[in-house]
Amino acid sequence: MFKKNALRAATALSLVTAGSVSAETLTIAIVNNGHMINMQTVAEAYTKETGVELNWVSLEEGVLREQVTSDTATGGGQYDIINIGMQEAPIWGAAGWIEPLNFSADYDVDDILPAMRNGLSHEGQLYAAPFYGESSMVMYRKDLMDAAGVSITDNDSWDNVKAAAAAIHDPANGVYGACLRGKPGWGDNMAFITTVVNSFGGAWFDADMRPVLDSAEWNAAINFYVDLLGNYGPPGSEGNSFNEILALYNEGKCGMWIDATIAASFLEVDGVAYAQSPNAGNPVGANWLWAWAMAIPAGSPNADAAADFIEWATSKEYVKAVGNHAEYGWGSVPTGQRASTYAIPEFQAAAGFAAAELAAIESAAPGATDLKPYVGVQFAAIPEFPEVGSAVAQEMAAALSGAKSVEDALAASQKAADSIMKEAGYYD
């Protein structure tokens, strides 16, 4: 790390020259997601009450990660609060890039869903507070399934899912059996693909942290994925991630979609039904676990004010504030973070997906297990994962495009992952 004292002085200087930052202003980096956008409006009340001005910087996910990394790695100071995910929180906490979070008793830390808390902690210490959390589940058009005489149940088998997709696939009328993520990116196609691999009994690394992408489980999972999405997916799936598929789904183009539970609150098509993610007879199901959380970079000169804001924004009161807000209401409250949210009757009434979402989150286990020696469900919480994940993601997109066979893509993935892990010093 660069020399810290010099840096603190320098950042202090830069803040003075910038001339806009008093102790009363917090600069917050956020991803441009619905709940975050709503927060900007809801937080006007917070400013009114406390006098703390809030400065929002919203960025695309990839650029946000790059900015936040470059800021934190060079000692912080650019942002007081950053939006990070479950992949970063534990490792950044371990590296000392973000401050540990300790809240007052009123905050009720134990109310935060255990899966979320574990995923955002390092050695039992919470480093980022979940603003909203999600797992993944199957969302499908019950009307189409009924018409075709097929059905999907909770934790169905992949074979049955494929059969259902095939039955409702009708490209001539613009309906595709299965819309799944294909856009390369460790948080895009790899998020979904990893859950499929998990459910087939595979993992990214073995106990020595050697990549095992050449395993039979990966081969079976990827073959299944390419088969399912290639045959029953919309054209251009290599470019589809959450946003693109949401647009397709709302246009009535998708018969089935397996993605973040949060999608349920955006769906406008009639006849939506939910099912817990499929599995392939293994103890691990094909659902992921993710949270967009708020953390304080180590260099922030306003750490106390930042902690106060995070405490407010991730509290039970915030959920109520959104629920009672004139513009939003109970259908738009951030979910997946606290058990108490799911107990609110107004929320249960407004959100038909609530039970399915909670079940999906609770069944996801981010901790290290015998199957996988690392923390994280659809990723590994190690600093090298984004690099490994992106390299593999491109290979998977190539396999999906038909530019490479599944075997070649996996062989190339294994080679790339192996060289990155070796380079990082995990083994010689």
Partner 1 sequence: MSDRKLPRLLQTPAVLLLLVWMLIPLGMTLYFSFIRYVLNSLRRPEWTTPSFSNWRGFGNYEFVLNSKDFLFAIQNSLFIVCSILFLTVILGVLIAVLINKTFPGQGIVRVLLISPFFVMPAVNAVLWINMILDPVLGLQGIAVGGINELIDGLKDAPLVGWFFGMWPELQPISFRATQTSAYAVIIMVTWQWTPFAVLIFMTSLQSEDQQQKEAAVLDGANTWSQFRFLTLPHLARPIAIVVMIQAIFHLSLYAEIEIVSRGNGNKNLPYLIGEFANNNIGAASATGIFAVILANIVAIFLLRMIGKTLME
Partner 2 sequence: MAIVAKTSRFGKYGRPTLAWVVGLLFFFPIFWMVLTSFKTDADAVKPEHLIFFKPTFDNYINMTENYDYWRFAKNSVITAVMATVFTLFVGIPCAYAMAFNPSRATKDVLMWMLSTKMLPAAAVLYPMTFITKTAGLFDTHFLIILVLSLINMPIVIWMLFTYFKEIPKDIIEAGQMDGANTWGEIKEILIPLAWGGIASTALLCFIFCWNEAYWTVRLTTTDAATLSKLIEGNRAPEGLFFGRLSAVSAAAVGPIVVLGWFCQKQLVQGLTFGAVK
Q: Which residues bind partner 1 (CB under 8 A)?
A: 1-2, 62, 66, 69, 73, 91-92, 94-95, 97, 172, 174, 183-185, 188, 234-239, 244, 247-248, 251, 253, 382-384, 386-387, 390-391, 393-394, 397-398, 401-404, 412, 415-416, 419, 423-426
Answer with the entry of partner 1, partner 2, none that 71 interacts with (C-beta below 5 to 8 A by kind).
partner 2
* Min CB(307)–partner 2 separation in Å: 20
Answer with the entry of partner 1, partner 2, none that 339 interacts with (C-beta below 5 to 8 A by kind).
none
Pick from 46, 61, 89, 134 the residue near partner 2 by CB under 8 A.
61
Site membership for partner 2, residue 419 (CB under 8 A)? no
* Min CB(95)–partner 1 separation in Å: 5
Closest to partner 2 by CB, 33 or 287: 33
**Tokens 């293994």, residue?**
282
- Torsion angle defined by CA atoms of residues 124, 126, 128 and 134, in that order, rounded to the nearest 10 degrees: 60
* Min CB(28)–partner 2 separation in Å: 10
Closest to partner 2 by CB, 6 or 207: 6
* Min CB(188)–partner 1 separation in Å: 8
Distance CA 265, CA 8 (A): 43
Site membership for partner 2, residue 74 (CB under 8 A)? yes
Instruction: Pick the stretch among 26-34, 139-147, 216-224, 399-407 that binds partner 2 (CB under 8 A).
Output: 26-34
* Tokens read off for 61: 């996910």
* Tokens read off for 195: 């859950």
* Min CB(424)–partner 2 separation in Å: 18
Asked whether the beta carbons of 133 and 377 are under 8 A apart, the reply is no
Site membership for partner 2, residue 189 (CB under 8 A)? no
Answer with the entry of partner 2, partner 1, none that 211 interacts with (C-beta below 5 to 8 A by kind).
none
Instruction: Pick the stretch among 19-27, 149-157, 219-227, 417-425 that binds partner 2 (CB under 8 A).
Output: 19-27
- Sites of contact with partner 2 (CB under 8 A): 2, 6-7, 10-11, 13-14, 16-20, 27, 31-34, 37, 40-41, 55, 57-61, 63, 66-67, 70-71, 73-75, 77-79, 242-243, 246-247, 250-251, 266, 268
